[in-house]
Amino acid sequence: MPTSSSAPNRTAEPCTVVIFGASGDLTKRKLVPALYNLYRDGLLPQGFSLVGFARRHKSNEQFREEMHEGAIAHSRAKPTDNDEWDAFASNIHYHTADFDNPEGYAGLHDLLGQIDESHGVPKGKGNRLFYLATPPDAYTRIITQLGAVGLNGPPPSQCADCGWTRIIIEKPFGRDLDSAHELNVHLLNVFDESQVYRIDHYLGKETVQNILTFRLGNSIFEPLWNRRYVDHVQILVAENIGVEGRGNYYDTAGAIRDMIQNHMLQLLALVAMEPPASFTANAVRNEKVKALQSVRPIRADEVGRYTVRGQYTDYRNESGVPAGSTTETYVALKLMIDNWRWSGVPFYLRTGKALPQRLTEVAIQFRQPPLMIFSHQDHEGHVGLADEMEPNVLILRIQPNEGISLRIGLKPPGSEMRLQPVDLGFHYGTSFGAEAPEAYERLLLDAILGDATLFIRRDEVEAAWSLVTPIMEGWTAGYAPKPSPYWPGSWGPDAADTLIAQDQRMWRTI
Ligand SMILES: NC(=O)c1ccc[n+]([C@@H]2O[C@H](COP(=O)([O-])OP(=O)(O)OC[C@H]3O[C@@H](n4cnc5c(N)ncnc54)[C@H](OP(=O)(O)O)[C@@H]3O)[C@@H](O)[C@H]2O)c1
């Protein structure tokens, strides 16, 4: 989605990024490779520094070496030029401290002062971006300590010529509505909302941003984007892997927290929202919040009608998963949006692990056209509708094979006047030539630039939890059957087919 400040000359100011949890997986696999790519592309400012904060003792050199290995293994562009890597790495520091130790934060305060001084930045003018890449239970402790040592900085509204301070919070943001609300209250006691960047890396994906440009940048689609022309919408996030050694974490989350509350409701909001008045952060987020608030909540006692849970058959044998776990690894949902645009148009969401392939897509299925003119006679003389005809389907392919396709009906060669479905397609890889940046590159750069359009606002995260929390409560209260088993490599439990078949519809065949 284009953003207010996405004009070509977005220039970042000198700043220091501090990653809490810097010895963890996310930092090595995603964050440092993303920063390295930004550096290579000349998008990081002069005077950029990175400080890694974590518990394990390491020297700066050790940390740089580990980050180098991470970049070699995971970066979009491999660091083949040693001089270039060394120049980037010379601004990387490591600070050993426990999240609960106030001295660690006093030490961080001093280190940031020294870094500013080394770049000639006057006192009080240093810009800082804190990134909480930590276990979620550490968020409030770190936020408290940052406030206690005065590293929360004044919000821009209170000091126009001070350096800026921003904080990125990783997912999961809360476990339910109450805990998300509590975290928001705590966070906003220490930081101002204008300083807070709640991340959902799906929003950094080019294909996700293109949902809005596609809708609003092409005059032929928006007029069709409503209940008069759309029959229903299907959103699929399929993974072909299981929990891959993360059973401990996953069993406490399940598919609803891991996928639906964040990524899938974000996709739904982008498809369903009204056009914003402008592409500023607040205008876009206002419309997303309105879309989420228009989704009819599924009450706890309705979960048996509108939701299906599944669990792949090997799940309980995964390491870290308790023997009797009832955590869902698959969810299918039917959501209705009660507004003028979407009234009566179901949005079907399904996500699962151990499915046949890794695939994320949004499919907008248009209404069936009146087909009488394509009636044909079969060999026994029966006259019927052209049964080859499928309704038009617009598919926004988020990953992999990123692209967009439109299924239309055309007459195949021959003497018969009948219809056959064919796809009109656009493919990112071949059409744009250039490789798309990683989601974390875009999001880190936006946070450095102070553009919050692709981050989740407080009311947005709470609106999403308001939809998901009653569903979880209904499951806990036993208003729906326990997760149905499904075979790894299948498309999920039969009950999911029944959910959509009740509406005389089917899941898309992939
Ligand atoms: N990994 C991913 O691909 C991914 C994707 C999306 C979101 N996330 C989210 O990102 C966050 C981080 O994930 P991760 O996979 O990087 O986690 P991780 O590998 O478990 O790393 C956790 C980090 O926190 C540090 N830490 C924990 N307790 C500490 C303490 N008391 N004091 C100081 N440091 C402490 C650890 O330091 P030591 O090792 O030195 O103890 C380590 O650096 C999580 O919220 C996760 O949900 C991760």
Query: Measured between alpha carbons, how far is 510 from 499 in angstroms, rounded to an integer?
Result: 18
Of 19, 25, 199, best ligand 1 pocket probe by most atoms within 8 Å of the beta carbon? 25
Place of tokens 């998963």: 321
| Strand, helix or coil for residue 94 | strand
Closest CA to 96 of 21, 15, 17: 21
Query: Measured between alpha carbons, how far is 6 from 15 in angstroms, rounded to an integer?
Result: 19
Instruction: Report residue 295: phi and psi, to 5°.
Output: -70, 130
CA angle at residue 264 from 6 to 397, to 5 degrees? 70
Query: Measured between alpha carbons, how far is 457 from 203 in angstroms, rounded to an integer?
Result: 13
CA distances from 474 to 297, 298, 303, 306, 478 (A): 12, 9, 6, 11, 6
Closest CA to 313 of 489, 476, 482: 489
Residue 101 CA, closest ligand 1 atom number: 32
Pairing of strands 49-54, 16-20: parallel
The torsion angle over the Cα atoms of residues 353, 359, 365 and 371, rounded to 10 degrees, is -110
| Residue with CA closest to ligand 1 atom 36 | 21
Q: Is 232 a catalytic residue?
A: no
| Strand, helix or coil for residue 155 | coil
| Residue with CA closest to ligand 1 atom 48 | 26
Sign of CA dihedral 314, 317, 321, 324: positive
Token representation of residue 303: 């979960």
| Residue with CA closest to ligand 1 atom 7 | 171
What confidence score (pLDDT) does residue 380 get? 64
Task: Yes or no: say if 395 and 236 are a contact pair by the CB < 8 Å rule.
Answer: no
| Residue with CA closest to ligand 1 atom 39 | 23
Q: Please work out whether the CB of residue 262 comes within 6 Å of at least one atom of ligand 1.
A: no
Question: Can you list the alpha helix ranges (DSSP code H) found in 307-427?
Answer: none
Query: Measured between alpha carbons, how far is 180 from 198 in angstroms, rounded to an integer?
Result: 12
Partners of 18 in beta bridges: 51, 130
Describe the strand order of the beta sheet including 420-427 as a list of residue ranges: 420-427, 403-410, 393-399, 359-366, 230-238, 346-352, 330-336, 307-312, 484-486
Pairing of strands 165-169, 393-399: unpaired
Residue 99 CA, closest ligand 1 atom number: 32
Task: Yes or no: say if 411 and 420 are a contact pair by the CB < 8 Å rule.
Answer: yes
322 C-alpha vs ligand 1 centroid, how far in Å? 22
Query: Measured between alpha carbons, how far is 211 from 395 in angstroms, rounded to an integer?
Result: 11
Q: Please work out whether the CB of residue 138 comes within 6 Å of at least one atom of ligand 1.
A: yes
Q: Which domains does the chain have, with CATH numbers?
A: 16-198 (3.40.50.720), 203-501 (3.30.360.10)
Partners of 230 in beta bridges: 366
**Measured in Å, how far apart are the chain's first and last C-alpha atoms?**
27
In tens digits, what is the pLDDT along the chain, a chain of 510 residues? 444 444 444 678 999 999 999 999 999 999 999 999 999 999 999 899 999 999 999 999 999 999 999 999 999 999 988 899 999 999 999 999 999 999 999 999 999 999 999 999 998 899 999 999 999 999 999 999 999 999 999 988 898 889 999 999 999 999 999 999 999 999 999 999 999 999 999 999 989 999 999 999 999 999 999 999 999 999 999 999 999 989 999 999 999 999 999 999 999 999 999 999 999 999 999 999 999 999 999 999 999 999 999 999 999 999 999 999 999 999 999 999 999 999 999 999 999 999 999 999 999 999 987 765 665 555 665 555 455 567 899 999 999 989 999 999 888 898 877 778 899 999 888 888 777 889 999 999 999 999 999 999 999 999 999 999 999 999 999 999 999 999 999 999 999 999 999 999 999 998
Q: Please work out whether the CB of residue 26 comes within 6 Å of at least one atom of ligand 1.
A: yes
29 C-alpha vs ligand 1 centroid, how far in Å? 12
Instruction: Report residue 233: phi and psi, to 5°.
Output: -125, 135
| Residue with CA closest to ligand 1 atom 3 | 26
| Strand residues in 33-139 grouped as ranges (E) | 49-54, 92-96, 128-132
What confidence score (pLDDT) does residue 369 get? 78
Sign of CA dihedral 51, 55, 58, 62: negative
* Residues found in the chain: 510
What confidence score (pLDDT) does residue 377 get? 56
Query: Measured between alpha carbons, how far is 75 from 64 in angstroms, rounded to an integer?
Result: 15
Q: 32-40 and 82-89 helices cross at what angle (nearest 10)?
A: 120
Amino acid making up residue 198: R
Residues 6+ apart with CB under 8 A from 4: 278, 279, 280, 281, 451, 453
Q: Considering the candidates 68, 95, 201, 263, report the single residue annotated as catalytic.
A: 263
170 C-alpha vs ligand 1 centroid, how far in Å? 10
Pairing of strands 230-238, 346-352: parallel
Query: Measured between alpha carbons, how far is 457 from 173 in angstroms, rounded to an integer?
Result: 11
Token representation of residue 67: 């980050």
Q: Please work out whether the CB of residue 128 comes within 6 Å of at least one atom of ligand 1.
A: no
399 C-alpha vs ligand 1 centroid, how far in Å? 25
| Residue with CA closest to ligand 1 atom 2 | 26
Query: Measured between alpha carbons, how far is 67 from 74 in angstroms, rounded to an integer?
Result: 10
Task: Yes or no: say if 202 and 268 are a contact pair by the CB < 8 Å rule.
Answer: no
| Strand residues in 251-290 grouped as ranges (E) | none
What confidence score (pLDDT) does residue 245 get? 87
What confidence score (pLDDT) does residue 52 get? 98
Residue 249 CA, closest ligand 1 atom number: 47
Of 32, 130, 134, 251, best ligand 1 pocket probe by most atoms within 8 Å of the beta carbon? 134
Q: 206-216 and 265-272 helices cross at what angle (nearest 10)?
A: 20
95 C-alpha vs ligand 1 centroid, how far in Å? 15
Q: Please work out whether the CB of residue 131 comes within 6 Å of at least one atom of ligand 1.
A: no
Compute the half-sphere exposure of residue 204: CA atoms within 13 Å on the CB side of its CA.
21
